[in-house]
Copies of this chain bind each other. A is one copy, B any other.
Amino acid sequence: MKFRFEVLVSLKEGLLDPQGKAVQNALPTLGWSNVSDVRVGKHIELVVEADDEAAARSQVEEMARRFLSNPVIEDFRVLAAEEA
């Protein structure tokens, strides 16, 4: 069976995020002055073939930890799966 997952990778809190800062600084010039705490991270979508959802999810968690994120500076979150 195939399962589609989404992984969100974001910088750990407290770390400087230049890309988020750039977005935040641009917003007031476009008329939006009520926005703060902008952080930019990665969104990864993938399909895993596995016997069941639990196996697929645990593989995705391992891939996220070992490969898709840098655990020193980033946190990740795996969103709920759906059958693909």
Contacts and interface: CB of A to CB of B under 8 A. Distances in A.
Contacts of A40: 42-45
Interface residues of A, number: 36
A28 to B, nearest CB: 12
Contacts of A84: 37
How many protomers of this protein does the assembly include?
2
A12 to B, nearest CB: 12
A78 interface: no
Interface string A17-40: 000100110110010101111111
Interface of A: 2, 4, 6, 8-10, 20, 23-24, 26-27, 30, 32, 34-50, 59, 63, 66-68, 84
